[in-house]
């Protein structure tokens, strides 16, 4: 009986330590997550959050999705591409410039004027197996809910081609046709992401290392249904493509 009680106490203690470790990991990684958007001193609103990013390298580099920064700034305006650092209603705003992009893998690297205090490490491991537990932190529906980073936990459900052939031939654009000819594999996650999560770091729940970057959510009917009826299927770009982009830019 005493041995059984000892085993039970040990298991409970291990579970508590594990939970505490994950809580600390999330707290640490949240401090490296930033918002990516546009600031216009004459605009209304002045700040526009377009997606999520995360600090890497020496803290002046931010990784995000290409589609988050793809839209050009309005000519003749005072718009600036910026990164929002911190949480709540009064974040620090740091001007950003696009250093390198990889449209094919939907990745971009920004350089900011103000250094982020914490940075994330990129995994150097290989492809993740199905069932690997991961988490991602970002700003789901951040344009409405504000700069309050949320963390979602799930697992790798599958590794799948980035483009799934369309059932409707009219939907086969030149870009889609190119991807069909030159597909690459991405992770399908069983955790739900929302608009605003684009560019969120996906990290191993044990090491905290970034293993992928949130790229898109499977939408069943329309963009609006991503909010009212999320599919629960999220896709993420393997981090090896970000490492390749950094190497190409000599960063």
Model confidence at 180, pLDDT cuts 50, 70, 90, reads low
The matching CATH number, chosen from 2.40.10.10, 3.40.190.10, 3.40.50.11890, 3.40.50.2000, for 133-240 is 2.40.10.10
- Check whether 177 has a pLDDT greater than 80: no
Better-scored residue on pLDDT, 50 or 145: 50
Q: What is the mean pLDDT of the chain?
A: 84
**What residue ranges in the chain does DSSP mark as E strands?**
33-39, 47-56, 61-64, 80-85, 92-102, 107-112, 133-138, 150-161, 185-189, 201-204, 210-217, 234-238
Q: Which of 78, 97, 88 has the alpha carbon at shortest distance from 36? A: 97
| Beta pairing partners, 81 | 38
What percent of the chain lies above the pLDDT cut of 90?
Answer: 59
> And the tokens for 79?
């718009």
Model confidence at 232, pLDDT cuts 50, 70, 90, reads low
Q: pTM of the entire structure? A: 0.83
> And the tokens for 27?
């707290």
- Check whether 152 has a pLDDT greater than 70: yes
Mean pLDDT of 140-158: 88
Distance in angstroms (rounded) separating the CA atoms of residues 62 and 247: 15
pLDDT tens per residue, range 79-128: 999 999 998 888 999 999 999 999 989 999 999 999 999 999 999 999 99
Better-scored residue on pLDDT, 90 or 52: 52
Mean pLDDT of 1-9: 52
């Amino acid at each position: 009986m005493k041995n059984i009680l000892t085993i039970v106490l040990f298991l409970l203690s291990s579970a508590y330590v594990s939970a505490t470790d994950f809580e600390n990991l999330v707290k640490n990684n949240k401090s490296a997550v930033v918002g990516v958007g546009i600031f216009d001193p004459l605009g209304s609103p002045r700040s526009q959050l377009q997606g999520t990013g995360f600090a890497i390298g020496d803290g002046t580099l931010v990784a995000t999705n290409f589609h988050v920064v793809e839209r050009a700034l309005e000519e003749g305006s005072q718009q600036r591409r910026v990164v929002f650092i911190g949480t709540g209603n009064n974040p620090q705003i740091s001007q950003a410039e696009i250093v390198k992009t990889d449209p094919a893998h939907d990745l971009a690297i920004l350089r900011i004027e103000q250094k982020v205090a914490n940075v994330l490490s990129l995994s150097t491991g290989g492809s993740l197996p199905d069932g690997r537990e991961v988490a991602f932190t970002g700003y789901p529906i951040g344009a409405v809910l504000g700069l309050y980073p949320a963390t979602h936990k799930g697992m790798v459900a599958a590794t799948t081609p980035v483009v799934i052939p369309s059932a409707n031939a009219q939907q086969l654009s030149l870009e889609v046709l190119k991807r069909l000819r030159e597909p690459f594999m991405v992770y399908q996650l069983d955790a739900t992401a929302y608009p605003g999560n684009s560019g969120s770091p996906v990290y191993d729940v044990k090491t905290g290392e970034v293993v992928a970057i949130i790229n898109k959510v499977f939408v069943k009917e329309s963009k609006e249904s991503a909010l009212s009826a999320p599919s629960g299927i999220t896709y993420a770009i393997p981090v090896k493509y970000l490492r390749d982009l950094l190497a190409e830019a000599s960063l």
